[in-house]
Amino acid sequence: MSGPREPAAEQLVQRVQERRRELNAVVLAHFYQPPEIQDLADFVGDSLQLSVQAAETEAAVIVFCGVRFMAESAKILNPARTVVLPEPRAGCPMADMVTAAQLREARERTPGLQVVCYVNSSAEVKAESDICCTSSNAVRVVRSLDPDRPILFVPDRNLAHFVSRQTGRQLMVLEGCCPIHDRVTLQDLQAARRAHPGAEVMVHPECRPEVTEAADQVLSTGGMLEYVGRSPAREFIVGTEEGLLYPLRKRYPDRQFHLLRAGFVCPDMKLITLPALVRALERLEERIEVEEGVRVRAETALRRMLELR
């Protein structure tokens, strides 16, 4: 739980609430955001849950507390609404590891290629893809595709390996990854087990294959939050960004949670602060725009994913 706020923080919180009402705005936040941002959000979720919320909202303004590709997805699904990213520096290194040009070249080399694009990617990459996926529905997405045609899965090679193992489908991959999850080693997992014997190990599918294969459960962030409620275990080792510990401890105060490794932090996800959120609501900056030709094609890939959820 977060502690008592300082008076200055209380004033910022009050201003967020006032501007939200004035603008008919909705604040969406990812599980990896700081606790004070999660507490203020209208909805907190993983990438799939946030995509659903962005597609269904009736708010005039969407303030996205996450990273750029998430705000872009919200704009793709809501072209008539104002979409704001409070911190323009909040990007995703994985999203930068694949380009639209690479996908066009892959299609030229491989006739009939089906491109599955992880939502952790730019609008331009989504526009060159057949369908998007998140970590929580990637297996379902790949199973929905024509089994007689080749599949390129971008940009996360680790998620692609996990999906291939689950589906039995051979996937072409690029060398992208999440540098935060990819840093976790099998030795880290084994050390966490020794430190917390009997704890159930949950890891994100963006982790390396040797890590996911050694874990008890491989789940998206939203999947982890739901799984704990079904598990008889009382203690868990959490193999994803530290931000998820906050909602886990809020929802399950009777359970124990341990981060799999020290320093499990995404710097980009921590850039949005209370002052930044207030500035975004005051100035409606940074506004996210997506060129219409790109947006329409990217929306097709996102909508195909949402139809499968």
For the chain, residues with pLDDT lower than 70 are: 1-7, 309
Q: Tell me, what DSSP letter sits at residue 148?
A: T
- Nearest in space to 158 (alpha carbons), one of 223, 94, 113: 94
276 inside domain: yes
Q: Both 226 and 255 in a single domain? A: yes
Question: Which conformational region is residue 261 in: left (phi greater than 0), alpha (psi within -120 to 50 degrees), or beta?
Answer: beta
pLDDT for 219 equals 97
252 inside domain: yes
Q: Both 203 and 280 in a single domain? A: no
Q: Both 162 and 298 in a single domain? A: yes
pLDDT tens digits, one per residue of 203-247: 999 999 999 999 999 999 999 999 999 999 999 999 999 999 999
CA angle, 212 as apex, 90 and 121 as ends, to 5°? 30
Q: Which CATH number belongs to the domain containing residue 38 in this structure?
A: 3.40.50.10800
pLDDT for 6 equals 54
Pairing of strands 200-203, 217-218: parallel
227 inside domain: yes
pLDDT for 2 equals 54
1 inside domain: no
pLDDT for 48 equals 81
Place of tokens 């639209």: 100
Q: Both 301 and 240 in a single domain? A: no
Task: Give the separation between CA 173 and CA 293, rounded to whole angstroms.
Answer: 26
pTM more than 0.85? yes
In total, how many domains does the chain have?
A: 3
Q: Both 35 and 109 in a single domain? A: no
Residues in CB range of 113: below 8 A, 6 or more apart? 106, 107, 149, 150, 151, 152, 172
Give me the domain span that covers residue 197.
186-265
2 inside domain: no
Q: Both 223 and 278 in a single domain? A: no
pLDDT for 278 equals 96
Residues in CB range of 80: below 8 A, 6 or more apart? none
pLDDT tens digits, one per residue of 130-153: 999 999 999 999 999 999 999 999
Q: Both 103 and 242 in a single domain? A: no
